Amino acid sequence: AQKITQTQPGMFVQEKEAVTLDCTYDTSDPSYGLFWYKQPSSGEMIFLIYQGSYDQQNATEGRYSLNFQKARKSANLVISASQLGDSAMYFCACENQAGTALIFGKGTTLSVSS
Amino acid sequence: DTAVSQTPKYLVTQMGNDKSIKCEQNLGHDTMYWYKQDSKKFLKIMFSYNNKELIINETVPNRFSPKSPDKAHLNLHINSLELGDSAVYFCASSHSSRGRDEKLFFGSGTQLSVL
């Protein structure tokens, strides 16, 4: 069964620095997608970035990029030039085995300080 | 306009009561979901509907019953509420039920507290 592992319960970073949030996944599907969501303290779930397993390049969206290493089954989120507003919980996700829903990791709490 | 809206945002109730949470999406999506986020922030799929048809029904107590009157609405009814039902319930939608790049659009969540 598909599984997402986020091993960092909490990360701390200074403003303007880059930070990497780790995500490893376990899937037997040859084709799959990986997602990152942000959940600030206000509670909403915000989509950040998507990476397809057959995408030739690592995904980027503004200050967010994915360090996708298929052989290692890792899809780490890199946030460049951290801002105070980046303080939130971050979830990595992939499709379930049937491809009919997303399953989520346990999340990583990011705290950005000035 | 809010893409996925769910009501109420907060729901405080006594054990044993029956309550409903409503969800509506105006994105024209075919698929809608209910997720439960527990006190440790773990998100778990409960149900999904594709065009009013039940697709996923995870191991959820049968006190939870989803209802989809049309593809834009998916409501969640909970009977005989228990303390362990306290959580945040998220409604979400996606363009279709299958597809490797089907990102989910989430509602703002309903914080359910059972006393």
Does the pLDDT of residue B96 top 80, yes or no? no
A10 to A19, A29, B27: CA distances (angstroms): 12, 30, 34
User: Could you report the per-residue pLDDT of A73-83, keeping only the tens digit for each?
Assistant: 999 999 999 99
Nearest CB neighbour to A107, from listed B41, B104, B106: B41
* Confidence tier at A72 by pLDDT (50, 70, 90): very high
Is the confidence at residue B102, as pLDDT, over 90?
Answer: no
Rounded CA-CA distance B88/A48 in Å is: 21
Substitution target in A42, A47, A100 with the highest count of B β-carbons within 10 Å is A100
What's the average model confidence in pLDDT over B106-110?
Answer: 97
User: Is A32 touching B (CB cutoff 8 A)?
Assistant: yes
Rounded alpha-carbon distances, angstroms, from residue B50 to A19, B33, B72, B73:
38, 9, 10, 11
B99: confidence class by pLDDT, cuts 50, 70, 90: low
* pLDDT of residue B37 exceeding 80: yes
pLDDT of the residue at A86 = 98
Those residues whose C-beta lies under 8 Å from the C-beta of residue A68, and which sit 6 or more positions away, are: A34, A51, A55, A58, A59, A74, A75
What string of DSSP letters covers chain B? --SEEEE-SEEEE-TT--EEEEEEE-S--SEEEEEEE-TT--EEEEEEEETTEEEEE-S--TTEEEEEEETTEEEEEE-S--GGG-EEEEEEEES-S--TT---EE---EEEEE-
The pLDDT, as a whole number, for residue B109 is 97
Residue of A45, A48, A49, A94 to mutate, interface with B, max B Cβ within 10 Å: A45
Q: Give the model's confidence band at A112: pLDDT under 50 very low, under 70 low, under 90 confident, else very high.
A: very high
Please check the confidence at residue B24 and state whether its pLDDT lies above 90.
yes
Query: How high is the pLDDT of residue B27?
Result: 94
Tell me, yes or no, if A43 comes closer than 8 A to chain B by beta carbon: yes
The one-letter code for the residue type at B22 is: K
- Summarize pLDDT for A1-24 with one digit per residue, the tens: 789 999 999 999 999 999 999 999
Residues of B in contact with A50 (CB under 8 A): 101, 103
Cβ B41–A31 below 8 Å, yes or no? Answer: no
pLDDT digit string (tens) for B42-64? 999 999 998 888 888 887 999 99
Looking at the complex, does the CB of residue A8 fall below 8 Å from at least one CB of chain B? Answer: no
Over pLDDT 70: what percentage of chain B? 96
